[in-house]
Amino acid sequence: MSFLDISHLEKSFGSNRVVKDFNLAVEKGEFISLLGPSGCGKTTVLRMVAGFESPSTGVIRIGGVDVVGTRPNQRNIGMVFQAYALFPNMTVAQNVGFGLKIKGAGRDEITARVAEMLKLIGLPDKGAAYPFQLSGGQQQRVALARALAPKPQVLLLDEPLSALDAKVRVSLRTEIRAIQRELGITTIFVTHDQEEALSISDRIVVMNGGIADQVGTPFEIYNRPTTRFVAQFVGQLNTFSAEVLDGPAGRVSVAGVPVTLPVAVAGARVDLAARPEAVRLGRGAGDDVVLPATVREVHFLGSVIRITAEIAGGRVALDTFNRPDAPPPVIGAAVELSLAARDLIPL
């Protein structure tokens, strides 16, 4: 059995079913993200794991023990919220030591643990400061230290970075992941930001309308989405309509070119998706689909250049790496785009 086991979890508020047959098995030390749009039930799942909300039905086991029915403070869980929920009238040290004090730890133990935690989050000298004297990023690091100080067996993070500005958000997510790895603590991280989830998770649960649509590694979620929702929510996507041909399943015609898809498809027509980096400017070796196109937009992003081109029946975004010896095409240029059938994702 997994360390944290959630099975057939459901939650309704009145007649509103906000979590539907949610299943998840988390291994000890794993970093799992719940990813989905606002209102899809992420916080509700987290609050049920923490014990702030009771499930309508379902089982939550931590370390083999069913915790449904036990109070939050008996679950040994650490939680960090989006808004800095620090106690404003307490110093940083008092905030970090709060959970230990509640547990009845002695003063020396608290002092030692607080120092250890402040060192862990890179704020060893801020113990005497008050929350208002800290930046947003520092406050969230203190909130993390406060959650970790009592040595919880599970860490729950509910959009802990969304109130921070972009640069701090990126550096702090890397830091959170490093601390999580160092402690080996089992973690569930909630976010609506797909890039954030892709960059730091061992596995991602993509949620849609209270349902876990797909569970997989970032690589699997991005490259082999199993539902149209996952394909469209995670990453950029180009779509092509293809005609399904007679013969082996997976044989289709894209822009008049017969190709074999990596998976079987049925029906008369199918929508196919291709990530921007799967589309090449010019003909790549081994590419089976070649489309004439006109360049409409060129965005020089630094290491990557994103080009939008018009093909018969729509627009295609493609990414190429910057090469100092090859300037990007000009707007209005007639070009060929190409892609390999194995990179096409049926929707």
Q: Which residues bind ligand ADP (CB under 6 A)?
A: 13, 18, 36, 38-44
The verdict on 191 binding Mg ion (CB under 5 A) reads no
**Least distance from C-beta 8 to ligand ADP, angstroms?**
18
**Least distance from C-beta 68 to ligand ADP, angstroms?**
18
Burial 136-148 (b: 16+ CB within 10 A, else e): bbbbbbbbbbbbb
Dihedrals phi, psi of 156, to nearest 5 degrees: -115, 125
Answer whether 279's CB lies under 8 Å from 238's CB: yes
Q: Residue 40: which of ligand ADP, Mg ion, none does it interact with, CB under 5 to 8 A by kind?
A: ligand ADP
Q: Residue 18: which of Mg ion, ligand ADP, none does it interact with, CB under 5 to 8 A by kind?
A: ligand ADP
Sheet holding 31-35, edge to edge: 77-80, 154-158, 186-191, 31-35, 203-208, 211-216
15-54 binders of Mg ion (CB under 5 A): 43
Rounded distance between C-alpha atoms, residue 256 and residue 268, angstroms: 14
**Least distance from C-beta 99 to ligand ADP, angstroms?**
24
Residue 20's closest CA among 176, 165, 221, 207?
Answer: 207
Answer whether 209's CB lies under 8 Å from 40's CB: yes
Minimum CB distance to ligand ADP smaller for 18 or for 245:
18
Q: Residue 44: which of ligand ADP, Mg ion, none does it interact with, CB under 5 to 8 A by kind?
A: ligand ADP
Minimum CB distance to Mg ion smaller for 160 or for 329:
160
Minimum CB distance to ligand ADP smaller for 58 or for 63:
58
Rounded distance between C-alpha atoms, residue 282 and residue 259, angstroms: 18
Minimum CB distance to ligand ADP smaller for 195 or for 297:
195
Minimum CB distance to Mg ion smaller for 45 or for 347:
45
Rounded distance between C-alpha atoms, residue 144 and residue 80, angstroms: 6
Residue 240's closest CA among 336, 320, 312?
Answer: 312
Coil vs helix vs strand at 55: coil
Minimum CB distance to ligand ADP smaller for 36 or for 99:
36
Q: Residue 33: which of Mg ion, ligand ADP, none does it interact with, CB under 5 to 8 A by kind?
A: none
Q: Residue 13: which of ligand ADP, Mg ion, none does it interact with, CB under 5 to 8 A by kind?
A: ligand ADP
Minimum CB distance to ligand ADP smaller for 39 or for 314:
39
Rounded distance between C-alpha atoms, residue 30 and residue 170, angstroms: 20
Rounded distance between C-alpha atoms, residue 293 and residue 334, angstroms: 6
Q: Residue 41: which of Mg ion, ligand ADP, none does it interact with, CB under 5 to 8 A by kind?
A: ligand ADP
Query: What is the DSSP pairing of strand 203-208 with strand 31-35?
Result: parallel
**Least distance from C-beta 238 to ligand ADP, angstroms?**
28
**Least distance from C-beta 221 to Mg ion, angstroms?**
20
**Least distance from C-beta 163 to ligand ADP, angstroms?**
15
In the complex, the residues that contact Mg ion under the rule CB under 5 A are 43
